Structure 1
Amino acid sequence: MGTELTEIFTRIEHSRTADEVVQQIESLILEGVLRTGDKLPGERELARQFEVSRPILRDALKALEVRGLLVTRHGGGTFVADVIGQVFSKPVIELISSHRKAAFDYLEYRREMEGVAAEYAARRATADDLALLDTIMARMDAAHRNADFEAEAEVDVEFHHAIGESAHNIILLHTLRSCYRLLSEDVFQNRLLVFTLPGARESLLEQHRAIYAGIAAKDPAAARKAAMDHIAYVEQITAQAERAGDWRRVSRLRRQQRSDQSNN
């Protein structure tokens, strides 16, 4: 879910037209500062931050709504539209979820993209980027200590989101976000199953630490290798989790069949 935002908008210089307000909000969406579901401040507050009249602001918000970048909920405010969801349409998502090969193609694609993102992050991450990654790692450690699979899975996605943001490449950022959207919406049903395999949680945590260490040390080669090794491991453990799930299913059917036979 998005959050309500304050004080990220800056005073409009020069002629203070609706077009300049539009351009600033568009840039914030494009650069990943404004995310899907984020709520914009109220009209009075926005006009104050931009230092424009409310009629100019209304014109700008209307233009952005027409372009599909903002949505207004009656009595509820103005929000960033679900622009990322449109990268994978519902029919495509259904195809991906129902074809096993797509899951492995997804991980193959991610392995390369995650490597690039981590490398760029190691080169470009700012102090604020590193502070956010540090906070996420602390939450990941806490979820691991508490053996909270759901929390670990959520923080895992958030960690990779933050690396994509730290790479400071707009196309890479939105491409990766669309990929993570598939994880968040449980398109791949075995996402949590991997956390139940012996040793998997510990391995995943150490891999995330290695990626973070490479980025924090400003070591692009180490960060890239750690990220690609991580996704390679996820590919391996996903296949293992699927096999384990099949084994449990077959064992359960065998037991049920033999029980039924002995009762006849």
Structure 2
Amino acid sequence: MSSTPIFARIQSTRTASDIVRQIETLILEGVLRVGDRLPGERDLSVQFDVSRPILRSALKTLEAKGLLTTRHGGGTFVADVIGEVFSKPMMELISSHRKAAADYLEYRREIESIAADYAAQRATEDDRLLLRRIMTAMEEAYETDDFKREAELDVELHNAIGECAHNIILLHTLRSCYRLLADDVFYNRTVIYGFPGARAKLLAQHRAIFDAIMASDPAGARTAVRQHIDFIEQAQREAARSNAWQDVSRLRRNQRESDIK
């Protein structure tokens, strides 16, 4: 959690329902994300300027609604309000079928184009500051060959763009979409990173999306997203073809070696 308070003092009636509404809004707007830990009871009651019994009542209501959860060992956290888009058996089923991967990228191409378009129109100065920090961190990860951090920031940048679109439904739709991206359900990012020049191209594509949003260029942002997804599609196809070649070559070598013996 940020050290800067995000909870506002309750101005009027100071009831539990006032706290409930404020926290619900913070979750809905994406300020509070899945797994975020709320401040301790003492700090939270000071920030809201309410008594602890009122605060406890509000937290209990939010927990009953499935928006907050208390973990063993202490602490109140934002619950998994996104949930599973697909059940585990379904994820395993679709991840093994090529058409599902193609459909996923087709979906991302369209939905992310809209998000980038809106972000270019609606991003605030705070949004731009966040995007700039993520982009800078991504470039640093690239320069230091920190593949794991680079992959994490890839997802974080796309998430942030969804937030900058300032559309609640789009925000949560994209978050569920990127959960699959983070888990490498539809394609193995490591394989794409291993493709000659792929990391540099991906970085340039992310920079192009970023630059268009920062320039308030909706059309440019849409184009940059489409080029990014097109590249992923192409790299995925070529990686699959290369793997198929290797499989055939291995079988051929094994067969020839047995003949030679």
Whether the 8 Å contact between 1:164 and 1:173 is mirrored in structure 2 is yes
Letter in 2 for 1:93: M
2:115 to 114, 117, 127: 117
Structure 1 CA distance for aligned equivalents of residues 74 and 98 of structure 2: 41
Instruction: Provide structure 1 residue ranges, at least 5 long, that are not aligned to the other structure.
Output: none
Q: For residues 104 and 126 of structure 1, do their structure 2 counterparts lie closer, same or farther at Cα, with a shift above 3 Å needed? A: same
SS at 1:79 equivalent: strand
Superposed displacement of residue 153, structure 1: 1.6
Matched, 1:139 2:137: yes
Please report the TM-score for the alignment, with normalisation by the length of structure 2: 0.94
The alignment-based identity, stated in percent, is 64
1:250 to 235, 242, 248: 248
Structure 1 CA distance for aligned equivalents of residues 37 and 58 of structure 2: 16
Superposed displacement of residue 21, structure 1: 0.7
Other-structure match for 1:225: 223
Letter in 2 for 1:160: H
Instruction: Provide structure 2 residue ranges, at least 5 long, that are not aligned to the other structure.
Output: none
Q: Give the RMSD, CA atoms, in angstroms.
A: 1.6
Other-structure match for 2:194: 196
Matched, 1:234 2:232: yes
Superposed displacement of residue 54, structure 1: 0.8
Q: How many equivalent residue pairs?
A: 261
Superposed displacement of residue 125, structure 1: 0.6
Other-structure match for 1:56: 54
| Deviations, residues 75-118 of structure 1 (Å, cap 9, x unaligned) | 22111111213333333323322322111100000001111111
SS at 1:58 equivalent: helix
Letter in 2 for 1:127: E
Q: How does 1:10-159 map to 2 (within 5 A)?
A: 10-159=8-157
Superposed displacement of residue 4, structure 1: 6.7
Structure 1 CA distance for aligned equivalents of residues 260 and 148 of structure 2: 40
Whether the 8 Å contact between 1:111 and 1:231 is mirrored in structure 2 is yes
Q: For residues 260 and 19 of structure 1, do their structure 2 counterparts lie closer, same or farther at Cα, with a shift above 3 Å needed? A: farther
Please report the TM-score for the alignment, with normalisation by the length of structure 1: 0.93
Q: Which moved more, 1:165-174 or 1:250-259?
A: 250-259
Whether the 8 Å contact between 1:9 and 1:49 is mirrored in structure 2 is yes
